[in-house]
Amino acid sequence: MGSLGGARTVGRPAGAWRGIVEEFRRDLSLPADAPAITLREGNTPLVPALRAGRGADLFFKVEGCNPTGSFKDRGMAVAVSGAVAEGARALVCASTGNTSASAAAYAARAGLPALLAVPAGDGAVAKGKLAQALAAGARLVLVRGNFDQALAAVRTLAAARPHVALVNSVNPLRLEGQKTGAFEVVAQLGDAPDWLCIPVGNAGNISAYWRGFCEYRAAGRARSVPRLLGAQAEGAAPLVSGRPVDAPVTVASAIRIGRPASAHLARAAVAEADGRFLAVTDAQIIEAYRFLARQEGIFCEPASAASLAGFWAARASGLIPEGARAVCVLTGHGLKDPDRAVAEGDAPLEVEATAEALAGVLPPGVD
């Protein structure tokens, strides 16, 4: 590395994005001396919808562009920075997959071991997320139970151990980090949208966005706050029905949660925002998932598409009026769940390796 080697080269080109801990530090409740454990998360694109808007002015906040492919990285960067500042020796979490993928990466970055508890069972956690946790060398544990039971177990485990940091969204630093998604939406649009549509599982992210919008309005950085549309899968919709769900079922494994830990925060947020929780069927989720990939060019995971499915339902009922400005948060990347993508795709064709053979399978009308 010669004379340019060593710490001096670890800096950044002028103007480069530093990740949410440094970019938003003055707006985060994080000890001032906490190091920034960062993979340069945040600064994700806000992409205008071309075909999905149905008369509204719709945008997608593409959180799959975060370093581990989901919004969890915002919360994880702050939670792990705080954990390191407090002398944590290990991280633990329960997860439907994305939290574990993110925790594993940020643990690796921090040089800490991670214990990740995910539900056992075929299809309980999407393959890409398992791959991420394993690649990062975390201790992945399949627990015989659902997410809600796994979360209860890790909360009890961490409560008794001061050097074990729980990095689920019940850790207040997670929501602190995730509120930066709202900060970015305001900066990208010049103000808050009329509606924010977001998938809801454990209910941390919707609560975090609300906090972010309220803080920016209070600071005079936004004139308004949005109305919130929290989309849940029909088979896992405790915030719509008002009752916990003991055996949640949905194709959208990331939001297969029956007892949301932040239900109280999310209910308060939706009430203050004059918003709604709304249930969408698996068929509606998959329709939105396919549309996003095929008509908008955005490949997200099924749970993320619940936001668009919810938006469409709210447009159809008139809850979101024509011309309204709306943002759907697309929470995770489509590569997280390769099995679903393959199942929803058309079977590939196999032909001889010749131009003639390929010409025979050109799309109709192309010569």
Ligand X SMILES: Cc1ncc(COP(=O)(O)O)c(C=O)c1O
314: left (phi over 0), alpha (psi -120 to 50) or beta: alpha
Residue given tokens 């920034």 in the structure block: 36
Nearest to ligand X of 85, 134 (CB atom): 134
Q: Whose Cβ is closer to ligand X: residue 179's or residue 227's?
A: 179
CB of 252 to ligand X, least distance (A): 8
Instruction: Give whole-number Cα distances, 149 to 95, 117, 120, 133, 206, in Å.
Output: 10, 10, 11, 20, 22
CA distance 196 to 171: 24
Q: Look at residues 222, 201, 229 and name the one whose alpha carbon lies nearest to residue 301.
A: 201
Residues in touch with ligand X (CB under 6 A): 70, 96, 98-99, 169, 199-205, 254-255, 301, 303-304, 331-332
Residue 179 Cβ, how far from ligand X at the closest point, in Å? 12
Nearer to ligand X, 57 or 235 (CB): 235
Shortest Cβ distance from residue 82 to ligand X (Å)?
18
- Based on CB atoms, which residue is closest to ligand X, 105 or 254? 254
How far is it, in rounded angstroms, from Cα 292 to Cα 90?
38
Answer whether 235's CB lies under 8 Å from 249's CB: yes
Residue 322 beta carbon to ligand X: minimum distance, rounded to whole angstroms: 27
Which residues lie closer than 8 Å to 23 by C-beta, 6 or more apart? 17, 42, 43, 180
Structure tokens at 246: 């003991």
CB of 49 to ligand X, least distance (A): 19
Give the nearest distance from C-beta 97 to ligand X in angstroms.
6
In the complex with ligand X, which residue's Cβ is closer, 135 or 359? 135
Q: Where are the beta strands (DSSP E) in the chain?
A: 46-48, 57-62, 90-94, 114-119, 139-143, 164-166, 195-199, 227-233, 276-280, 325-330
Q: Which is nearer to ligand X, 129 or 315 (CB)?
A: 129
Smallest separation (angstroms) from ligand X to the CB of 1: 39
* CB 202, min distance to ligand X, A: 3
Residue whose CB is less far from ligand X, 205 or 250: 205
Q: Cα 135 to the chain's mean position, in Å?
A: 20
Distance CA 108, CA 116 (A): 13
Nearest Cα residue to 321 out of 175, 195, 159, 232: 195
Q: Nearer Cβ to ligand X, position 6 or 39?
A: 39
User: Which residues make beta-bridge pairs with 328?
Assistant: 60, 197
